[in-house]
Amino acid sequence: MTTPRTLWHATTAQPAPRPGPKAGATTDVAIIGGGFLGLSCALQLALAGVSVRLLEARRIGWGASGRNAGFVVPHFSRADPAMIRSRLGADAGARLLDLVAQGGDMVFDLARRAGLGAQAEQVGWLQPAHSAAMAQALQARVREWQALGRPVEWLSAADMAARSGMSIYHGAMRDASGGMINPLAYALGLARLAENAGTVLHEETPVTAVERARDGWTLRTPAGALHAGRVLLATNAETLGAARPLGRAVLPLTVHQIATAPLDAETVARIAPHREPASDTRTNIFTWRLDAENRLISGGMALMPIGAGSRLPQKILQRAIAELRLSADTALAHAWQGTAAMTTDALPLLSELQPGLIGAVGCNGRGVAFTTSLGRALAQAMDSGGSLPLPAKTAMPIPFRPFARHAPALVLAKGLWSDARALRHPPTP
Ligand SMILES: Cc1cc2nc3c(=O)[nH]c(=O)nc-3n(C[C@H](O)[C@H](O)[C@H](O)COP(=O)(O)OP(=O)(O)OC[C@H]3O[C@@H](n4cnc5c(N)ncnc54)[C@H](O)[C@@H]3O)c2cc1C
């Protein structure tokens, strides 16, 4: 098993792998998948006194949780509160909005408890508007979140220029509860907290099958079989072994990330005087943040997947240099990629695959905060035997999935044109 080549894996110490289960082991709840969702759920179940084991095919944080950019964003990528209510109805809509909104504070609280220090910065998150129309839409979004009591505000174009050194934006939404984190350190921290609370963690333990047993479930692993009363599949876009029924119901999306060598203090003061991470509103989204050592982190998606791993990092770097007016010799220090899970309706997918076997995928690109709060809500439901925190859906395999996974690249291609058109009308000073 190779270690992912991320900035986070290169700079964060990992403990030795926890061993697999002994044949014949039993537990009340088995969680499959050692990302934020599985770990958050395991932690909360263990805190409630439930016996819980988490099985991870490779290492904690091997999946999207250890490869993401670490933007802590307690929002959806596009949906407004009103849109969520109209799609889910008033009650379920309110529950989902609550889960989304709680995510930022919950992440930073857990990060503090796990001792992350400078690797977690709750400095707020910015969403700059690249067009006048987006500025209008975001201002309406700000009012909606404010009505729900969230610490969200609208910044003028001049404010945004002062916070980024960029003059293309028509203003920005700012959420004070967001920020940035070293996601691998966070996943490892959640694992420590979960273990201290009583969770038994097994790494390098792929679950090959989950089979109905007389009073629960039998999980097959290379180390032997394990018996569990209830099971949570927290395997994101994976289709490995037991993960298959959930993984086939989402589209895997490859996302590329880069990190530069540390920037000098003058550049940092110009592009991020308050250290806020930002993700703008373009279809070809421009994202930037610093890490604790002032490396700049940015990302992107490929129009043409073939050869993207060697081509795209330089493209992302050149874009960051041009947008933020960095020195032309800014060095590329790390480049990596990961797989995000996209659901067909861009909402989380919760499914009771069979009674006592739950599958959940939470992300759509904004998963750090949301999977943390969803994990807690799932733990409460599994502990009390109550209903799921959001309406359950059927995990339907996506038809023509190998072709359908290229749909986001088509959206991106179309968006490049509309992005360019919008940027021809910068804000008036
Ligand atoms: C490159 C990239 C950048 C991103 N940037 C951001 C960002 O800045 N902010 C943000 O909010 N979100 C971001 N996201 C999304 C976010 O990372 C995810 O939503 C989140 O990490 C999902 O967590 P998870 O626990 O559901 O899944 P994962 O972290 O993917 O965990 C699933 C785990 O299940 C394990 N597994 C699979 N099958 C089996 C099996 N059969 N047996 C045992 N284990 C199994 C896998 O090995 C894996 O470790 C990004 C995603 C990517 C890929």
pLDDT(272) > 90: yes
Whether residues 196 and 221 fall in one domain? yes
pLDDT(171) > 70: yes
Ligand 1 mean position to 177 CA, how many Å? Answer: 22
pLDDT(346) > 90: no
Pocket around ligand 1 at a 6 A CB cut-off: 32-38, 55-58, 62-65, 67-71, 73, 206-207, 234-236, 238, 240-243, 255, 257, 338-340, 362-363, 365-369, 371
Quick one: which atom of ligand 1 is closest to the CA of 254? 53
Residue nearest to atom 32 of ligand 1 (CA): 235
**Residue 426 maps to a domain:** no
**Residue 10 maps to a domain:** no
pLDDT of residue 3: 86
Any idea what the CATH number is for the domain that residue 314 is in? 3.30.70
pLDDT(364) > 70: no
Ligand 1 mean position to 340 CA, how many Å? Answer: 7
Any idea what the CATH number is for the domain that residue 97 is in? 3.50.50.60
Lowest-pLDDT range of 144-148, 191-195, 284-288, 409-413: 409-413
pLDDT of residue 308: 86
Neighbours of 271 (CB within 10 A): 22
Note the pLDDT tens digit of each residue in 97-120: 999 999 999 999 999 999 999 999
Whether residues 136 and 276 fall in one domain? no
Average confidence score pLDDT of the chain = 95
Contacts of 153 (CB under 8 A, 6+ apart): 142, 146, 173, 174, 176
**Residue 244 maps to a domain:** yes
Percent of residues, the chain, with pLDDT higher than 90 = 84
Residue 256 pairs in a beta bridge with 300, 337
Residue in 68, 334, 378 to alter for ligand 1 test, most ligand atoms within 8 A of Cβ: 68
Whether residues 263 and 326 fall in one domain? yes
**Residue 410 maps to a domain:** no
**Residue 226 maps to a domain:** yes
Whether residues 115 and 155 fall in one domain? no
Whether residues 207 and 103 fall in one domain? yes
Compare 314 and 302 and report the one with higher pLDDT: 314
Note the pLDDT tens digit of each residue in 51-72: 999 999 999 999 999 999 999 9
Confidence of residue 386 (pLDDT cuts 50, 70, 90): confident
Whether residues 366 and 272 fall in one domain? no
Whether residues 371 and 301 fall in one domain? no
Count of structural domains, the chain: 3
**Residue 419 maps to a domain:** no
pLDDT of residue 416: 85
Ligand 1 mean position to 131 CA, how many Å? Answer: 32
Q: Among residues 203, 209, 211, which one has the least CA distance to residue 55?
A: 203
Residue in 236, 285, 290, 378 to alter for ligand 1 test, most ligand atoms within 8 A of Cβ: 236
pLDDT(210) > 90: yes
Residue nearest to atom 11 of ligand 1 (CA): 366
Ligand 1 mean position to 400 CA, how many Å? Answer: 23
Residue nearest to atom 14 of ligand 1 (CA): 365
Whether residues 351 and 284 fall in one domain? no
Give the DSSP per-residue string, 25-39. EEEEEEEE--SHHHH
Ligand 1 mean position to 157 CA, how many Å? Answer: 34
- What is the residue range of 280's domain? 251-342
Summary count for the chain: helices (H), strands (E):
14, 19
Whether residues 52 and 196 fall in one domain? yes
Note the pLDDT tens digit of each residue in 17-40: 999 999 899 999 999 999 999 999
**Residue 418 maps to a domain:** no
**Residue 13 maps to a domain:** no
Whether residues 192 and 298 fall in one domain? no
pLDDT of residue 167: 95
Whether residues 329 and 355 fall in one domain? no
Compute the distance between CA of residue 318 and CA of residue 127 in angstroms, rounded to an integer. Answer: 21
Whether residues 289 and 262 fall in one domain? yes
Compute the distance between CA of residue 182 and CA of residue 269 in angstroms, rounded to an integer. Answer: 21
Domain boundary among 276, 307, 342: 342
Confidence of residue 242 (pLDDT cuts 50, 70, 90): very high
